[in-house]
Amino acid sequence: MELIIVTGMSGAGKSKTMDALEDIGYFCVDNIPPQMLGRFAELGEMSEGRIDRVAVAVDARGREMFRDFLTSLDGLDERCQPYRVLFLDASDETLLRRYKEGRRRHPLLEGEILTLEDAVRFERELLHGARQRADYVIDTSNISVAQLKETIAETFLADARQAMLVHCMSFGFKNGLPWDADLVFDVRCLPNPFYEPELRALSGLDEPVGEYIMRFPQSRQLLDKLFDLIDFLIPLYAEEGKSRLVVAIGCTGGRHRSVFFTRELCSHLVAKGERVVANHRDMQKPNSH
């Protein structure tokens, strides 16, 4: 049985993630105590193959019960039950904004925890070990629900025995760094198409923008060096057992240079047979430069 354990910060998108997993064929169960993970694995085996892809959500609503989460994972290891842990995260600022805009009550806001800020801080401390143990960490601070669902589908639709997933992301430094990036590259050193009037409204996916960027020899040199470095690193990460590598390429606004370099890197990796997904985080945001 294939088992996905979904956990993470309240407000980071666990419910949307479970919906996305259900859409691609997982049998989903929300909010089970961590102590039941072993028992749930037993029930899956008793189904005799009728249930072969399961996703369960385990979160901090149980407060002290969640402290047994890591022990429960150790129990799954002892019984040789394969599983993967997906952790949903977001910046504190994003979580606070989502709760205030949605007028929802944080599940840990009670007792001695009197403020929303304290609840987020307490939950992050409580989940620290789970985040460290996660196979996948997805930061939802700056991605839409549609982008989250696309990432979930790209990550889990393929057979688990396939190669490591390389997630190539373009972004704008003006909108903040992606929290879940493993590698970050800055291409702001290159000439900026934003200052060419005929290119400003276009993106790095449009050929005129790519032609402009590659007109400069330093762009070709940087692209070749990026290819060489990523080609060198991917086998090392794969050998370490990493299942998802997030490569983030940033320019000022995330519309031109970073998008073009991300597209080129994806094409390069696909040609080499790597499993790749692309996400242009800030490409549609206004006033990108």
Return the top range by mean pLDDT from 39-53, 88-102, 158-172: 88-102
Helices (H) then strands (E): counts for the chain = 10, 9
Residue 199 and residue 177: Cα distance in Å, rounded?
25
pLDDT digits (tens, 9 = 90+) for 196-213: 999 999 999 999 999 999
User: In the prediction, which pLDDT does 49 show?
Assistant: 61
Percent of the chain with pLDDT over 90: 55
Query: How confident is the model at residue 48, as a pLDDT?
Result: 62
| Per-position b or e across 29-41, b if 16+ CB within 10 A of its CB | eeebbbbbbbebb
pLDDT at residue 186 tops 90: yes
All domains in the chain, ordered by first residue: 2-156 (3.40.50.300), 165-280 (no CATH)
Query: Rounded CA gap, 17 and 161, in Å?
Result: 22
- Which pLDDT value is given to residue 59? 84
Measured distance CA(203)–CA(134) in Å, rounded: 34
Q: Dihedrals φ, ψ of 158, to 5°?
A: -75, 160
For CA atoms 109, 112, 118, 121, give the dihedral sign: negative
C-alpha atoms less than 13 angstroms from C-alpha of 2 in its C-beta half-sphere? 12
What is the pLDDT, as a whole number, of residue 160?
A: 40
Q: Is the pLDDT of residue 155 over 90?
A: no
Confidence of residue 159 (pLDDT cuts 50, 70, 90): very low
Nearest to 123 by CA among 90, 83, 85: 90
Q: How far apart are CA 66 and CA 209, in angstroms?
A: 50
What pLDDT is recorded for position 198? 95
Q: State which amino acid sits at residue 231.
A: D
Instruction: Locate the DSSP E strands across 34-143.
Output: 53-57, 84-89, 136-139
| pTM, two decimal places | 0.61
Average confidence score pLDDT of the chain = 88
Beta carbons of 3 and 81 less than 8 angstroms apart: yes
DSSP characters for 209-259?
HHHHHTTSHHHHHHHHHHHHHHHHHHHHHHHHT-SEEEEEEEESSSSSHHH
pLDDT, tens digit, 9 for 90 and up, residues 90-128: 999 999 999 988 777 888 888 788 899 999 999 999 999
pLDDT at 140: 93
Is residue 2 helix, strand or coil? Answer: strand
Residue 51's region, left for phi above 0, alpha for psi from -120 to 50, else beta, is beta
* Burial class for 173, CB neighbours closer than 10 Å (0-12, 13-18, 19+): middle
DSSP structural state of residue 106: P
Q: Is the pLDDT of residue 27 over 80?
A: yes
Q: Is the pLDDT of residue 191 over 70?
A: yes
Percentage above 70 pLDDT, the chain: 93
